[in-house]
């Protein structure tokens, strides 16, 4: 009497791995990667993680870091530390002025910008986010926003994935234009600015249907082999 052996260990391993990958697929999708992060804890405009530049045309006397920050939107274990505080200035001279971020998005797509912010009642209450594809010409993105009176638990988030020109762009830039201040000391605080995107060069992960078809095909091949072997014995 012949003895039929079960599937090989290698086959079992491959089949199990395929099924496991299929079940875990939702958790294996590529996550956004931080391209540039500013936490302002060093009391300057220098990028703290990643690569990028931040400049402003505010009167420098009205760019201060003495007011506390927050852990909202903090990355890589950053503490609350300081915040970037922008004041209206004498005669509200800083209305219409901006901060500008230059961030190369080469090798990234689906760009998202987020940050924590708050404003005083006499601070800037109509602020406009803009983007640029060449670092020179800026276009409004969405409607102006008004900061809350205090840092919240969630950051302001702007999903710019619909702007295909921002993908893989060495000249990408972003700007916030501030308006509405009604006193020299009225201010907005900004903290933990993050520019992130999805890496373009990642190891391809098979789609769930491809995995299912692969495992089904392997199973069918195994069953066919067993039946054929049984008929020959």
Question: What whole-number distance in Å separates Cα of residue 201 and Cα of residue 92?
Answer: 46
Q: How confident is the model at residue 9 (pLDDT cuts 50, 70, 90)?
A: low
d(CA 224, CA 233): 14
Residue 165, pLDDT > 50, answer: yes
- Residue 104, pLDDT score: 98
**Closest by CA position to 81, among listed 37, 41, 38:** 41
Superfamily of domain 33-199: Galactose-binding domain-like (2.60.120.260)
Q: Write down the domain spans for the chain.
A: 33-199
Please say if the pLDDT value at position 134 is more than 90: yes
Residue partners of 9: CB distance under 8 A and separation at least 6: none
Please report which confidence band the pLDDT of residue 31 belongs to, taking 50, 70 and 90 as the band edges.
confident
Give the three-class secondary structure for 108: strand
Instruction: Please state, in angstroms and rounded to a whole number, the distance separating the CA atoms of residues 114 and 94.
Output: 23
């Amino acid at each position: 009497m012949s003895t039929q052996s079960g599937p090989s260990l290698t086959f079992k391993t491959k089949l199990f791995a395929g099924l496991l990958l299929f079940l875990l697929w939702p958790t294996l999708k590529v996550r956004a990667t931080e391209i540039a992060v500013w936490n302002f804890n060093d009391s300057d405009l220098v990028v703290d993680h990643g690569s990028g530049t931040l400049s402003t045309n505010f009167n420098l006397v009205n760019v201060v870091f003495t007011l506390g920050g927050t852990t909202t939107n903090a990355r890589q274990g950053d503490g609350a530390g300081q915040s970037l505080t922008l004041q209206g200035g004498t005669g509200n001279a800083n209305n219409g002025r901006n901060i500008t971020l230059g961030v190369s998005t080469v090798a990234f797509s689906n760009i998202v910008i987020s940050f924590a912010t708050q404003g005083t009642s006499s601070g800037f209450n109509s602020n406009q986010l803009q983007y640029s594809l060449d670092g020179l010409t800026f276009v409004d993105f969405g409607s102006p926003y008004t900061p809350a009176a205090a840092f919240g638990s969630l950051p302001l988030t702007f999903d710019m994935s619909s702007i295909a020109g921002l993908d893989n762009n060495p000249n990408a830039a972003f700007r916030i234009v501030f308006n509405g201040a009604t006193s020299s000391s009225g201010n907005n605080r900004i903290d933990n600015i993050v520019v992130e995107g999805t890496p373009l060069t990642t190891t391809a992960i098979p789609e769930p249907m491809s995995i299912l078809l692969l495992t089904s095909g392997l199973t069918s091949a195994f069953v066919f082999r067993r039946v054929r072997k049984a008929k020959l014995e």
